[in-house]
Amino acid sequence: MKKITYAILSFTLVFGLVACSNSSNEGNGQQTPSNQTGSSGDIGTNSGVETGTAGTGGTKSPDLDAKATVVFSTFWPDDRFKEAKKKYEALHPNIEIKLQNVETDNSHLEAELEKYTTATNTAMLAGKGPDMLELDLLPTDSYVKHDLLADMGEMMDQDSTFKKEDYFSNILDGARVGKGLYAMPLSFFLMGFTGDEKAIANSGVKVNDKTWTWNDFAQTAKDLAKTDGNTAAFSYPANYMLSEMVKDNYPLFIDKANGKANFESASFSGLMQQVKGMVDDGVIVEGGRNSYFQSTQINSPWDYLVSLRENGENTKLFTKPHAQDTAEGGYFRSYRTIGLNANSKVKNQAWDFIKFMMSEEIETPPESAGIPINKNNFAKQIAELKKEGTVKAYVEGPLQGLEFKVDEAKLGELESFVQGAVHAVAYQSDKIGEIISEESQAYFSGQKSAEAVAKLIQNKVTTILNE
């Protein structure tokens, strides 16, 4: 995947491709071709032969020798899933993994996505739908609220063959809703800030990004501004900044399990006032001024090296500040996130396939989008980059295909950032993000009070959560 900045990802990909995850399932035993493609409205029902213990994952192992069909639905075709299907079926010839996705083109994409989302939601609410779904851009919160997804956290706990130590537990814990794990990230992106380490060091200002809150960030920015009055700390529109901060601290404002909003709170009013204060103090500016920090998304170990170099030889990755009411730690976004239909008749077989996709059997190169959830696969990517010694930047990027030496020290820092990422960044709730960015403009322009805007956002978000 070509490097995408955080702002573009959040407000173009997320808002435009809100339903890009799971498609359909085979209905009532109907036989459909493996790797089926079709219209976005072709949503079937769970299929296969139920074996083992149903529910949210019992202690009895699935009978992997019995015939069964597991339908795995995604919106986009994915070569990684095709590879996993091929390898898994070779090991378990009596289990068929049916991949289903939608065929479309750019001119019909938006309509197909909307149709697909509607059809998928309808099927799931009716107790049908596929056995497995890719949830990246589907309304996972709504599925959890309506008990439509199985708790894979329980399955992990009850499965003696699942080696938790092989995976980044900080990511798995961060992906939980309450105590349940309903969306399994096969990989993830890191969300952070980039900044010129040399320029910051020359300023004499100390930056402690491991523990800083937004209040600390604001003070640090003011101190930096004193050393260079022409450079702001951050360049970003205030209303978008607020929306991003809400996404970074989603649990403070949205109770996913119960579908409740919490915007008429001191936390949200304080966040709005905090952003406005940073704007008034010149910490955040909108426009072309230089800034010490920029928001970024790290897609892979290779992308990490290239992204830092694109911003300058002295560029460093920093942990994003956290809200005052949130624990310290870094931010991540799940990618290739898999859900298991609570009404599937082949839960155990589906769970076994999910485990297989998480395992070392499915390796990806260091330039492939998504940092693997499997620690050993991540270590192999790091080792491969070190062995190669050089990386080549994007040909169409600012470095125009420049080949440069791998910085092993920076790779060591990346491992620390991966281990420290504990906060999941929300991206499914495009409507909520739009409401926050649109309605908060009245506050930042001085037309409405923080309390009035918070009440308006609370009412509109509550309406969406009750849909």
Q: What is the pLDDT of residue 148?
A: 96
Q: Are 381 and 365 in contact (CB under 8 A)?
A: yes
Tens-binned pLDDT, residue by residue, of the chain (467 aa): 434 333 333 333 332 333 333 333 333 333 333 344 554 545 545 555 544 433 334 434 557 778 999 999 999 889 999 999 999 999 999 999 999 988 888 888 888 888 888 999 999 999 999 999 999 878 888 899 899 999 999 999 999 999 999 999 999 999 998 899 999 999 999 999 998 888 888 888 999 999 998 888 888 888 887 887 656 778 788 998 899 888 888 888 888 777 788 999 988 998 899 899 888 888 888 765 577 888 899 999 999 999 999 888 889 999 999 887 788 899 999 999 999 999 999 999 999 999 999 999 998 999 999 999 999 999 999 999 999 999 998 888 888 889 999 999 999 999 999 999 999 987 655 788 889 999 999 999 999 999 999 999 999 999 888 77
Q: Do 95 and 157 fall into the same domain?
A: yes
> Using H for helix, E for strand and C for coil, what is the string for 397-456?
CCCCCCEEECCHHHHHHHHHHHHHEEEECCCCCHHHHHHHHHHCHHHHCCCCCHHHHHHH
Total domains in the chain come to: 2
> Distance between CA atoms of 361 and 249, rounded to whole angstroms?
34
Q: Are 50 and 349 in contact (CB under 8 A)?
A: no
Q: Do 231 and 288 fall into the same domain?
A: yes
> Distance between CA atoms of 334 and 183, rounded to whole angstroms?
9
Q: Is residue 13 part of a domain?
A: no
CA end-to-end span of the chain, whole Å? Answer: 34
Q: Is residue 10 part of a domain?
A: no
Q: Is residue 370 part of a domain?
A: no
Q: Do 155 and 114 fall into the same domain?
A: yes
What residue spans of 41-93 are helical by DSSP H? 79-91
Q: Are 131 and 70 in contact (CB under 8 A)?
A: yes
Q: Do 196 and 82 fall into the same domain?
A: no
Q: Do 24 and 48 fall into the same domain?
A: yes
> Distance between CA atoms of 396 and 1, rounded to whole angstroms?
13
> Distance between CA atoms of 217 and 223, rounded to whole angstroms?
10
Give burial (CB, 10 Å; 0-12/13-18/19+) of 97.
buried
Q: What is the pLDDT of residue 232?
A: 74
Q: Do 34 and 171 fall into the same domain?
A: yes
Q: Do 26 and 114 fall into the same domain?
A: yes
Q: Is residue 260 part of a domain?
A: yes
CA R_g for the chain: 23
Q: Is residue 367 part of a domain?
A: no
- Residue 208 is given by DSSP the state -
Q: Do 289 and 349 fall into the same domain?
A: no
Q: Do 149 and 275 fall into the same domain?
A: no
Q: Do 82 and 223 fall into the same domain?
A: no
> Distance between CA atoms of 334 and 412, rounded to whole angstroms?
22
Q: Is residue 51 part of a domain?
A: yes
Q: Do 132 and 228 fall into the same domain?
A: no
Model pTM above 0.85:
no
Q: Is residue 390 part of a domain?
A: no
Q: Are 286 and 159 in contact (CB under 8 A)?
A: no
Domain range for residue 244? 190-330+426-465
Q: Are 114 and 302 in contact (CB under 8 A)?
A: no
CATH number (domain holding residue 152): 3.40.190.10
Q: Do 36 and 81 fall into the same domain?
A: yes
Q: What are phi and psi of 286, to 5 degrees?
A: -110, 125
Q: What is the pLDDT of residue 58?
A: 40
Three-point CA angle 118, 10, 263, nearest 5°: 80
- Residue 165 is given by DSSP the state G
Q: Where are any strands of DSSP class E within 125-183? A: 132-134
| Burial annotation 194-203 (CB, 10 A radius, 16+ → b, else e) | bbbbebbeeb
Q: Are 238 and 279 in contact (CB under 8 A)?
A: yes
Q: Is residue 153 part of a domain?
A: yes
